[in-house]
């Protein structure tokens, strides 16, 4: 799947992204729990970028320059920008370069 095929509130079967930059992790608390979240920018094979949301321990696994594979993920939209994450059911695999 490519970034240009993503639509808000839809599932992602499989997407491969190169992490361009990773932001600083921050704590969050909501009605469903608390933890850590981190935003990153990912680029697909066509060169298109999308925001990647890393939850809890995922931010420790991913570094700038890594290739990641998200399976059974989810697309959301925040302030007009698409975001890809593993959602509740998905998995994230890091393929070190």
List the beta strands (DSSP E) in the chain: 11-22, 26-30, 33-43, 49-55, 67-78, 81-85, 91-95
Q: Which two tokens stand for residue 79?
A: 């302030």
Q: What pLDDT shows up at residue 97?
A: 60
Across the chain, which has 97 residues, the per-10-residue mean pLDDT values are 96 97 94 92 97 95 96 95 94 87
The overall longest dimension of the chain from CA atoms, in Å, is 38
Instruction: Give SS3 for 87.
Output: coil
Q: What is the pTM of this model?
A: 0.91
Instruction: Give SS3 for 61.
Output: helix
Specify the pairing of strand 91-95 against strand 67-78. antiparallel
Q: What pLDDT shows up at residue 90?
A: 96
Measured distance CA(22)–CA(26) in Å, rounded: 12
* Homologous superfamily of domain range 3-95: Nucleic acid-binding proteins (2.40.50.140)
Q: Where are the domains of the chain?
A: 3-95
């Amino acid at each position: 799947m490519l970034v240009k095929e993503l639509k808000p509130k839809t599932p992602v079967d499989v997407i491969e992204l190169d992490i361009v930059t990773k932001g600083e992790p921050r704590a969050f608390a909501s009605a469903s729990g608390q933890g850590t979240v981190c935003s990153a920018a990912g680029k697909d094979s066509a060169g298109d970028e999308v925001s990647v949301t890393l939850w809890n321990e995922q931010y420790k696994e991913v570094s700038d320059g890594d290739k990641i594979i998200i399976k059974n993920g989810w697309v959301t939209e925040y302030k007009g920008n698409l975001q890809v994450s593993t959602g509740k059911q998905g998995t994230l695999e890091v393929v070190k370069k």
